[in-house]
Amino acid sequence: MSMIGAMSGILSETDFAKAEQILGEQLREMGKRVTEAGGIIGHIKFVATALGESCQISVTDVDENVRHYGSTGCRVEGVAIVFAMEEETLRTIMHETLGSVLTVAEA
């Protein structure tokens, strides 16, 4: 039966190309460790979305206020679907690979 591990978090790297490289490295390592542990990879699929700056502009008859907010880096989310693997093993592998570079991670 399949085992599904989901993870999401923020990768603090601000250069998107570098973030893509880091994500690729971590996912390849995740796949390698799954295979080494005897698991069969269905797929490991993550999306990285660059975060940026946002602004809120509020206006009254006497006032105008602009508030900038947002964060830099990338939001990363996705799943690893594997077969022939215990849940705890997959959880450990995900935390020790991709999870190690995400600042807010959950699995």
Partner 1 sequence: MNFLVVGGFLGSGKTSFILRLAHHMIDDLGINKIVILENEIGEIGIDDQVLRGSGYEVKGMFSGCVCCTMAGELPTNVRTIEKDLNPDWIIMEATGVAFPQAIKDNLVNALQMKPRAVCLVDAQRWMRLLRPMEKLLPFQLNGADVVLINKADLVDEETRQAVKESVSQYSRDAELVLCSAKEGIDIKVLERILGMEA
Residue ranges that bind partner 1, judged by CB under 8 A:
2, 4, 6, 8, 40-43, 45-47, 77-79, 81, 83-84
- Nearer CB in complex with partner 1: 41/101: 41
| Terminal-residue alpha carbon distance, the chain | 19
The nearest distance, CB 103 to partner 1, in angstroms, is 18
Taking phi first (over 0 means left), then psi (-120 to 50 degrees means alpha), and beta for anything else, what does residue 57 get?
A: beta
Residue 41, SS3?
Answer: strand
Angle at 87 (CA atoms; ends 85, 89), nearest 5 degrees = 70
- Nearer CB in complex with partner 1: 2/100: 2
The nearest distance, CB 39 to partner 1, in angstroms, is 10
Residue recorded with tokens 């900038």: 68
- Nearer CB in complex with partner 1: 10/42: 42
The nearest distance, CB 94 to partner 1, in angstroms, is 13
